[in-house]
Amino acid sequence: MVELIAKSPVADLLPVEAGSCRLVACAPAAITAIAPYAGAEEALSQALDSAHGLALPPAGRAAGTPGARLIWAGYRQYMLVGEIAPDAAVAAHAAVTDLSDGWVVLRLEGAGTESVLARLTPLDLDPGVFKRGHTARTELAHMMAVLTRTGEGMEIMLMRSFARWGVARIAEAMESVAAQAGLPD
């Protein structure tokens, strides 16, 4: 009998290094979509705070620690990312869907991160504008992504089906930035 082994879609692609940038895979234990029922945002926020010490962040923000973060992912949409699954009390106030196998989480780190991503997204990711804890659901190289600035760099969440394409496009942009850094002024 064949034994199947779970494998990340980017396991054979990462890490990638070019110039001062490095792209690595992050492997959160769980990614859970949380969509509050109409009028239940306050009750949901209280349930999340009681169970996990997290409250719903405002639009465009993420809250928590690397082990358990709540990320705004669009209008009335949040993602709980990290080492925890949501407490059962959360389901009384929101639709809760496990997306762990449907998304890939990458981290781009190092000097030049903003220059790399500037080639792929229309967002202004200058650290003075897009600060730590800021997040955006945006287009990245013609695919939907969620970008979040963390203390370690820029976290990039992609749908699993776009993982190989995403890594290839980010790697190309990294190589372009690295090559241009070596050019004389």
pTM of structure? 0.92
Where does the chain hold its CATH 3.30.70 domain(s)? 30-98
User: Could you say which of 3.40.50, 3.30.450, 3.30.70, 1.25.40 is the CATH number of the domain covering 30-98?
Assistant: 3.30.70
Q: Report mean pLDDT in 10-residue bins for the chain, 185 residues.
A: 84 93 94 96 94 93 89 95 91 96 96 96 96 97 96 95 96 96 65
Which residues lie closer than 8 Å to 141 by C-beta, 6 or more apart?
120, 121, 165, 166, 169, 170
CA 20/CA 131 separation, integer angstroms: 20
As a CATH number, domain 16-27+101-181 is 3.30.1360.120
Domain with CATH 3.30.1360.120 in the chain: 16-27+101-181
E strand spans, 13-151: 16-18, 21-26, 30-36, 62-65, 68-74, 77-82, 94-98, 103-109, 135-140, 143-149
The predicted pLDDT at position 74 comes to 93
